[in-house]
Amino acid sequence: MMRTRHGLWILTLIPFVVMTEANAQKQTERYIPIGKSPGLSGKHTSIATVDVMDMRDGTLTCTDTAGTVTVKIDKKTRIWVDRSAQGLTAVDGAPGDCRKGQVVEVKFRNNERRNGVVAEWIKVKAP
């Protein structure tokens, strides 16, 4: 009976541990260099080159090895400037930091890579 209670207690805690790990990564994502996000980079993100940042429409068009995709940027989209190559931490960015030719990593909201989806976050490689 005691063994069953311990097993149920552990099963009850597992979702909280998993959610805590996911939340911790969201809180620290800005400090992870482009292409180094565990479990995300290359699977749920696109490392691409900026083609067009349309400030008026709030869209970013970029191209990677899979092709060209246009994502929307809304109020919830986080943008960071990745300065890891200079040995510095990332700083908050803005859509204006996404310029033609720059390397970016885009995390698609709900992990859906398709045109028109909203970007959850964007990391821009510092010039």
Whether the pTM exceeds 0.85: the reply is no
The mean pLDDT of 3-29, rounded to a whole number, is 54
DSSP structure string for 7-76: HHHHHHHHHHHHHHHHHHHHHHGGGSPTT--TTTTTTTEEEEEEEEEETTTTEEEEEETTEEEEEE--TT
Domains in the chain, please, with CATH?
32-125 (2.40.50.320)
Higher pLDDT, 4 or 73: 73
Work out the pLDDT band at 42, boundaries 50, 70, 90. Answer: confident
**pLDDT above 60: residue 32:** yes
Parallel, antiparallel, or unpaired: how do β-strands 78-82 and 91-92 relate? antiparallel
pLDDT of 89 reads 93
Residue 79: DSSP 8-state: E
Instruction: Let me know: does 122 contact 106? Beta carbons within 8 Å.
Output: yes
Instruction: Let me know: does 71 contact 118? Beta carbons within 8 Å.
Output: yes
pLDDT of 55-109, one tens digit each? 999 999 999 999 999 999 999 999 999 999 999 999 999 999 999 999 999 999 9
Work out the pLDDT band at 5, boundaries 50, 70, 90. Answer: low
